[in-house]
Structure 1
Amino acid sequence: MSDTPLQVLINQAPHSLPQGATLADAVAASGIQPPFAAAVNLQFVPRGQYAGHALADHDKIELISPITGG
């Protein structure tokens, strides 16, 4: 296994995360505050699965906050 950091996009911004990083690590790196929903490569990931969802190099992560108002 390589020690080369994973290169991922979080809300279209490039981030480097350590090998073995999970979606929970990406959420922490982004600094987003709840409430939000998360998707990896356009696939929704339930909140309870963030810590177990391993990331791969070049994954695209979207963290979406609800928009209030109308």
Structure 2
Amino acid sequence: MKIVLNGAPQEVRAQTLSELLEECGFSGRVATAVNEEFVPSSLRIGQALNDGDRVEVLSPMQGG
């Protein structure tokens, strides 16, 4: 399926947000949103993805 991940078009096999994170190699603590709606970590396993979805994955950065 085709989605937009962090602003870039991607072809993925994942059917859920949790599968997408694993497929794309995201690990640790991240914040996620699908179509501009925040998705808490506890709901990612049930968050289905659809063709054309816009997914944002953000990880915290240290520094000042």
Q: TM-score range by the shorter chain?
A: 0.7 to 0.9
Moved more, 55-64 or 8-17: 8-17
Aligned residues between the structures: 64
Match for residue 7 of structure 1?
Answer: 2
Q: TM-score, normalised by structure 1?
A: 0.79
Q: Report % sequence identity.
A: 36
Q: Which residue of 2 is the match for residue 28 of structure 1?
A: 22
Unaligned runs of 5+ in 2: none
Question: Could you tell me which of 11, 19, 26 is aligned with 1:16?
Answer: 11
Structure 1: any 5+ residue segments left out of the alignment? 1-5
Distance 2:37 2:24 in 1: 18
Tell me the residue number matched to 1:59: 53
RMSD: 1.5
Larger Rg: 1
Q: After superposition, give the CA deviation of every residue in 1:2-24 in whole Å (9 maximum; x if it has no partner).
A: xxxx2111112322234x80111
